[in-house]
Chains A and B, each alone.
Chain A
Amino acid sequence: MQIIKDKQIIDDNWSYIADDADLKAGNISVSLARWHQDKAQLLSREGKLGVRIGPADVVDDLAPDLKTIQLIELDFTDFADGRSFSQAWLLRGRHHYSGEIRATGHYMTDQVFYLSRVGVNAFNPEKVEDLPIVLANLNDFTVKYQHSIN
C-alpha cells in the first residue's frame, strides 16, 4: 500500500495492530487504549511505534509519551468530525510533536489542504486511486488569512 508523506508518494511500512491481535515485528501502530495498557511491552520490542487516535481521544494524555512515538494516526470515523483538526494543531502547536501525523479513515480528499495546514504531513487515502488527487489538492490554495501550523 502506498501513502503520501511530505508531498511524496511512498510505500507504507507501518501496520496497524487491532486491539485483539498479537503484536508483531516492524513498525506498528496501536490504539490509544492499547498504548496505555501495553506500554511496557510495546516499548521493549524492536521497531518503531505509532498510536492511532480517534476524534474523541484526548491528545494531552499522550503528551508525556510523545518522544517515544514516531507516528500518530488521526483516524476519521466521519469526515464531518472536525476534532481531528484541533488534535493535529495541539500535537504540533502545543506539544511540539515532530513525528509523522497521518490522516486515515473517512476523511475527504477535499480536506487535505486544511489538514496539512494544521500539521498533518501524511495521508493514507481510502482508495489507492486517490493518491494523485490528494497530491493535487494539497495545493488548492496559495494564500491564507490566518496563522496555524503551516
Chain B
Amino acid sequence: MITSHDYSPERPIKRSSMYQYNDNDQILVDERVAQFRRQTEQFLKGEISEDQYRALRLRNGLYVQIHAPMLRIAGPYGLFNSKQLRKLAHIARTYDKNYCHFTTRQNVQFNWPKLEEVPDILEELASVQMHAIQTSGNCMRNTTSDHLAGVCIDEIEDPRPYCEIIRQWTTLHPEFDYLPRKFKIAVSGALHDRAATQFHDVGLHLVKNDAGETGFKVIVGGGLGRTPVIGQVIKPYLEKKHLLSYLEAILRIYNLFGRRDNKYKARIKILVKESGLDKFFTLVEQEWQLIRDGNELSNERINAMKAHFVEPAYQADAVLDAGFSEQQQENKAFATWVKHNTASHKIPGYHAVFLSLKAPDSPPGDMTDTQLDAVADLADQYSFGEIRSTHRQNLILADVKQAELFALWQQLDGLKLATPNIGTVTDMICCPGLDFCSLANAGSIGVAKEINEALDDMDYIHDIGDLKINMSGCMNGCAHQSVGHIGILGVDKKGTEWYQITLGGSSENKAAIGERLGPAVAKNQVTKAVTTILDVYVKNRLNDESFLDMVNRVGITPFKEQVYANN
C-alpha cells in the first residue's frame, strides 16, 4: 500500500517536511511586495512623511541604522530550505557586503542594503517563499520555536504545525497591526523549553492533560529588554481548538488596554503587572467567552497543517552503521565535535548537527555568502535540504545519518563552521552593538572577540561545560543578557563604554533573571572579569556541578569578591 509516508525511489521528488506556500500564500507575499514598492516610491517622492514611512518600513523589516538601513527577514520558527539559503547568499552578494547575520529570534539580517533596493530584495525573497513582514514595528512578530522541533527525543508533540497556523493568523492581521508595542509568540512542544517561552509576550507550551490529550499551557507577560519579567501561566490547559480565539482575546485586551503613553511601559508585561494577573485573566476570559464558539480550529485544519510537516525519508537501518564509533575512536577532534555539536535524534542512527557560527575570529551569528551556498549544498546532501536557525545564533542540520557525520564534519571544518563550542562559554550570543546599531551604548562584537581570544584553550572550555554568555550593547537587550548565565550589558558612562555584569540568568524551564554582580566594569576589564568568574567556578564547583547550579548554590558573593578584589 502506498501511503503519504512512502518514499520509494520511483518518487525522486523529495517531499519536503517544511510548510510549502499555496497560491494564496504566494499572492499575499507578492501583493505585500507591490504595496511596499509603492510606499517606498511615494516616500522617495516626498508623498508620505518620514513618520508614516517609518511605521510602514518597520512592518517590512527595514530599520535605519548608523551606517545604512538594516533589513530583517523572517525565519519562520527558524526553518529554511536550501533554495532559500542560496537566495540569502545571492542577496548578500548582490545587495550587501557578502554576509548576513542570524539573530536570536531565528531571523536573518542584512546590514548594508540600500533603501531604494529593498523592494527588489523583498521581491527576490518572495520568489523563494520568504518575506520580511512584521519583523519589526509595534505588531505581532515572527513566531519562534524549538530549534529541535520534530526531531528531539523529549517531544510531547511537534510544535511546527501550530507555529505555522499562528504565523498565518498573525500575518497582516487587520485589527492588531498597530499595537501599543511589539508582540512576540513562542511555541515549545518538548519537555525541555528551548524556545524561552517564559520570556515572550505569549508563550505556548504543548502539554498533556489528565486524559492524555495534548493542548497548550499559555504563559503571558514575559519579556526581556529593559524590564525583564518571567511570564505567568494564564491558562494551564487550553484545548487546541481554542488556540486562535484565545490569542485573539489576549490581543484585543492588550490592544485596547495596553499603555500607549510611554513606550517603555507599553509591552503586555506591564499591563499584566499593573492590572495584576487575576484582573488581566478576567478581562481575557470575558472576551474569550464571547468569541470562542464558532471560532474553533477544526481537526481538519490541524491535520492538513500537520501533513506539511511529514517526516523525511529516514532509513531504518541508519543505526546499523559501525563506522561511526570507529571514527570517533580514531579521531579525537571528530569525537569532540560529535560530543559538543550534535544532539540526539528521535530516530536511532540520526543526529541533529549544530553548525557553530561562533568561530573565534568571526562576529557571532554572521555568515558569508560562500558559507551560505556551501551549507545549502550540505543540507541537500546530508539533511533533506533543510536548515534551521537557533536562538543562540547557530544553524542546525536536523537529520543527518551517523554514517555521514564524519564526511559532513570534515566539510564543515573547511568552512569554519565546526568549532566544537556549542553550549560552551565561547558560544556567546551577541547583538550588533555599537558597530551597527544606532541605539547602542557600547560595542559588543569587539568584546566578544577579546573574550574569545582569551579563551583559546578548547580543553579548558570543554571542562567548563555548559555556560551561556549573552551580551547586549544597550538596555534593549537584543542579546538577552538578563537570561545569560553570565550577562554582559553595555552602558554609557559620560560617553565611555562600560559593562554591567549579571550572573545566574536562564531562559529555560527554571527561568531566572540574572543578578547584578556589582558596579559596571570598564571595557578593558570585561575579559578579565569573565575569566575571573570562570576561575572562581572551576575552583569551587562540586563534582560535575554546572556553572548555573553553582551560582544558584553559592550566590554571587564569591564571584563578586574576586572580580572586584583589586578595586
Determine the residue in chain B with the shortest Cβ distance to A81. Answer: B260
Determine the residue in chain B with the shortest Cβ distance to A109. Answer: B48
A143 interface residue, CB < 8 Å from B?
Answer: yes
A110 touching B255 in the complex, CB below 8 Å, given contacts A81-B178, A86-B175? no
Chain A count of residues within 8 A CB distance of the other chain: 26
Cβ < 8 Å to B, chain A residues 126-150: 140-148
B436 interface residue, CB < 8 Å from A?
Answer: no
Tell me the smallest distance from the CB of B251 to a CB of chain A, in Å: 9
B9 interface residue, CB < 8 Å from A?
Answer: no
A143 touching B171 in the complex, CB below 8 Å, given contacts A82-B177, A82-B179? no
B173 interface residue, CB < 8 Å from A?
Answer: yes
Name the A residues within 8 Å of B52 (CB-CB): 79, 108, 110
Please determine whether A82 and B176 come into contact, CB atoms closer than 8 angstroms.
yes
Please determine whether A94 and B290 come into contact, CB atoms closer than 8 angstroms.
yes
Cβ < 8 Å to A, chain B residues 38-68: 39, 48, 52, 55-56
A143 touching B168 in the complex, CB below 8 Å, given contacts A86-B255, A89-B175? no
A83 touching B55 in the complex, CB below 8 Å, given contacts A143-B27, A143-B31, A146-B169? no
Please determine whether A145 and B171 come into contact, CB atoms closer than 8 angstroms.
yes
Cβ < 8 Å to A, chain B residues 271-301: 290, 295
Determine the residue in chain A with the shortest Cβ distance to B177. Answer: A114
From B168, B255, B295, A85 is in contact (CB under 8 Å) with: B255
Please determine whether A145 and B256 come into contact, CB atoms closer than 8 angstroms.
no
Chain B count of residues within 8 A CB distance of the other chain: 31
The docked-state distance in angstroms from the alpha carbon of A142 to that of B256 is 28
Please determine whether B260 and A85 come into contact, CB atoms closer than 8 angstroms.
no
Determine the residue in chain A with the shortest Cβ distance to B28. Answer: A143
Determine the residue in chain A with the shortest Cβ distance to B52. Answer: A108
A42 interface residue, CB < 8 Å from B?
Answer: no
Cβ < 8 Å to B, chain A residues 89-116: 89, 94, 108, 110-111, 113-115
Please determine whether A146 and B39 come into contact, CB atoms closer than 8 angstroms.
no
Name the B residues within 8 Å of A89 (CB-CB): 175, 252
Name the B residues within 8 Å of A117 (CB-CB): 174-175
Please determine whether B31 and A79 come into contact, CB atoms closer than 8 angstroms.
no
From A79, A81, A110, A148, B174 is in contact (CB under 8 Å) with: A148
The docked-state distance in angstroms from the alpha carbon of A83 to that of B178 is 8
Please determine whether B31 and A141 come into contact, CB atoms closer than 8 angstroms.
yes
* Max chain A Cβ within 10 angstroms of own Cβ: one of B39, B52, B169: B52
Name the A residues within 8 Å of B39 (CB-CB): 110
B35 interface residue, CB < 8 Å from A?
Answer: yes
Name the A residues within 8 Å of B24 (CB-CB): 143
B172 interface residue, CB < 8 Å from A?
Answer: yes
* Max chain A Cβ within 10 angstroms of own Cβ: one of B28, B173, B179: B173
The docked-state distance in angstroms from the alpha carbon of A145 to that of B170 is 8
Name the B residues within 8 Å of A51 (CB-CB): none
Instruction: Give the A-binding residues of B (Cβ under 8 A).
Output: 24, 27-28, 31-32, 35, 39, 48, 52, 55-56, 138, 168-169, 171-180, 244, 252, 255-256, 260, 290, 295
5 closest A-B pairs by beta carbon, nearest first, are: A82-B178, A117-B174, A114-B174, A145-B168, A143-B24
Known: A80-B138, A140-B31, A148-B175. 14 other contacts (CB 8 A): A81-B178, A89-B252, A110-B56, A111-B178, A114-B172, A118-B175, A141-B32, A143-B27, A143-B31, A144-B172, A145-B169, A146-B168, A146-B173, A148-B173
Q: Can you list 12 A-B contacts with CB-CB less than 8 angstroms, sorted by A residue number?
A: A80-B178, A85-B176, A85-B177, A86-B255, A108-B52, A114-B172, A114-B177, A143-B31, A145-B28, A145-B169, A145-B172, A148-B175
